[in-house]
Every structure is written in C-alpha cells, then in structure tokens.
Amino acid sequence: MGKRADGIRGQSETGDPLLLTPGPLTTSAAVKAVMLHDWGSRDAAFLKINREVMDRLPEIVQGVGSHVTVPMQGSGTFAVEAMLTTFVPPDGKVLLLVNGAYGQRTKRICEIARRAFHVHETDEDTPPDLHRLAGTLQADLAITHVFLVHCETTSGILNPVAEVAALASKHGRGFLLDSMSAFGALPLDVRHVPVDAIAASSNKCIEGIPGLGFVIAREAALAKTKGNATSLALDLHDQWQNFAKTGQYRFTPPIHVIVSFHQALMEFFAEGGQPGRGARYRDNAEILSVGMQALGFMPLLPAKLQAPIIHTFHMPKHPNFVFQTFYDALKDRGYVIYPGKLTVADSFRIGCIGRINGDHMRGFLETTADVLNHMGVANLRAEIRSWP
C-alpha cells in the first residue's frame, strides 16, 4: 500500500471534528469549559449572568431602549412558535413568506395554534415577490402580521428583510422575523428596519451551545400582547412580565446553556460584534465558494442571493460520486458536512459559521480534493459542462 494522503485533518479547539453545518456548531474551548460548575436557578451569580445576556443582545441590532430580550427555553423553533403565538392574536392573521423548510414549519405552528394565515410561497431558490406581497396586503385587510425568515437555512438564501419590513410598516402591519441563522452575522438595524420581534437561538452565529431560544421584541408591541398566547410555556408576555417582577425564569432554565451562551456572547463582542463576526463568515464563505467551484461543484444560488451562512451545492451526477461515501470520508478526516433538504434539487450543504476560520476552510477544500481523488472522481469539472 502506498502512502495515503489525508488532506488536512479538521479539528476544533477541543479536538473534535469541525461542524460545517447550520448549527449546532463548533464552539470555542472556553464556551464549553465555563459549564463545569453547578448553579441554582435562583442563585444571584446565575441571575446576574442571565441579566447581562438579556441586556446585551439588543445591542446587536441597535435595539437598546426600544427592544427587550425575552429568552425562551428550548431550541430555536420554541422561540419562533412563541413569537408567532404571542404576537399574532387568536383573531389575527399572519402572512407567511415561505421559501424553505423553516417557513413551511410555521404553517404547522399556525395550524396547530389555530392562527389564521395566508401563505406566499416561492421556490427555495427564489425570494418573495414584493409586488405580489404588496397586493396581498392591500387586498386582505384581515392580515395583522407579516412573517419572514431572514436567511432560509434550507438553501442559504438571503431574504429581503428591509424591503419586507418597509412594506409591512407602510401597510400598518406587524413584522415578525425568524433571524435564527443570520442573527449576529448579518447586519440588522431596528432603527431603520421596523420589526416587532426577532427570533434567534444560542447555537447559531453567537456560537453558543443549543438549548436557549430568544425573541428580541419591540417593547411597545410586546406590551400589547397580553392574553394572546394559547400556550402557558410559550407565552412571551408572561415570561417578560415575570422577569420584570422577579428577575427570574418562570420554569427551570437551561442554566449551563445560558452561562455558556454568556461566554460566547463576550467572545462575540470581543471579535467586534456583528461587523467582526460577519467579516469572518464572509471570508469563510468566499473561500468555500471559490474552492468548491474550482473542484467542479455547482452552487444552487447565484452570488447575489447567497448569504454567507451555509452554501448548497448540486449533487454531482458522476457515477463514482456516492454522497454517503463522500460524507463518511470527510467525517473520518474531521469535517462534518450536511445533507440537503431541498425539494427543487438533489443537493448537499456546507456551513461556514461557528468557530471556524479561513485556514479551516482551506483545510476542508484540500481534504475534499483528496477525498474526490480516492473516490475516483477526478473530472467533476468536465462533467458540469454537460449539465443543463
């Protein structure tokens, strides 16, 4: 047997494989290390840490003074469901802008919570049609809120947040944003983009561990939501009021997640906040995009629709390319990629968020080239010329 080149092994600060996924993501060593303690949920040390997290999150969207953080135990979906069912009253109606799996999920949320909704659906590689949207808002006066996904992680597409927010505002409707995979990485300034509520979570671009969702809500809008909720646990108004009264969670918080999220948030601000983090991710995304195309992979999205969060590539049709083999070989070498979730095309995804940098990305590309060689897939480039 000859010497086998393995490319460059990927590893995190703690020696784990790098997660090139949409989250949970690779985190720093310190984000994990700070969890090696016990705290009581009503303990002053923990409550101070939690308070700092809640106070500082609105800074990221220039919302200090206008917006407040309402944390919600659970994954990101808990925060999205809490946002929709607290802000949209039982007799309200929400216009759901759908172009991927996370948008689709909100239809189920509304069905189960019995909120009336109207779906504006476009393909997974297509942003909402602003012209048609304006028409719907004009025609259907029952619509009280508009919901959009900032970066639809299904494809990695960047949706037109500012434009949709302006339309909703112009037509006097509330605007609710699922910014889960974009929050902290992409700019959003609530002084210029009118938004009632932004849902995100601990384990995406702030680079914490999973277990805490949160909603950054315009205080004046949140104050009007009393009694809207149709769930006890997901009632953002009640959660907010309880913090105002006691400084505490109503029900057991994921303490270690929050302490670790606090550490992640301090690292985020030390990196320069959104501009700093966004620049690192853009760098990662650029290296990834150029490198993968040089290897012959074809991206799903044109550059102008691509957010620097996660990239979707068409599944190569080369007879020797077997995705599971490709996936396993990369995993063996320290890189965890992500299967596709598209309905429009057979695809796979590679994330560029989390505690990863340009060197990690270059290591990944070198390793990918090596894996393709081992698979006997040397001429992907020749193959794409014959694609439609």
Chain residues that interact with ligand PLP, rule: CB under 6 A: 22-23, 75-77, 80, 102, 149, 153, 178, 180-181, 201
Tally of CA atoms within 13 A in the half-sphere of 81 that contains its CB: 19
Nearer to ligand PLP, 77 or 122 (CB): 77
- Cα(266)–Cα(268) distance, rounded to whole angstroms? 5
Kindly write down the DSSP assignment for every residue of 259-276, as one continuous string: HHHHHHHHHHHHTTHHHH
Closest approach, Cβ 179 to ligand PLP, in A, equals: 8
Chain centre to alpha carbon of residue 241:
27
Nearer to ligand PLP, 84 or 380 (CB): 84
- Cα(119)–Cα(96) distance, rounded to whole angstroms? 5
Nearer to ligand PLP, 146 or 329 (CB): 146
Token pair, residue 244, equals 């105002």
- Cα(108)–Cα(196) distance, rounded to whole angstroms? 22
SS3 string, 359-387, reads: HHHHHHHHHHHHHHHHHCCCCHHHHHCCC
**Residue (of 113, 178, 168) closest to 138 by Cα position:** 168
- Cα(339)–Cα(348) distance, rounded to whole angstroms? 5
Nearer to ligand PLP, 182 or 377 (CB): 182
- Cα(364)–Cα(313) distance, rounded to whole angstroms? 15
Closest approach, Cβ 86 to ligand PLP, in A, equals: 16
Nearer to ligand PLP, 233 or 298 (CB): 233
Tell me the residue number closest to ligand PLP, measured at CB. Answer: 76
Nearer to ligand PLP, 76 or 363 (CB): 76
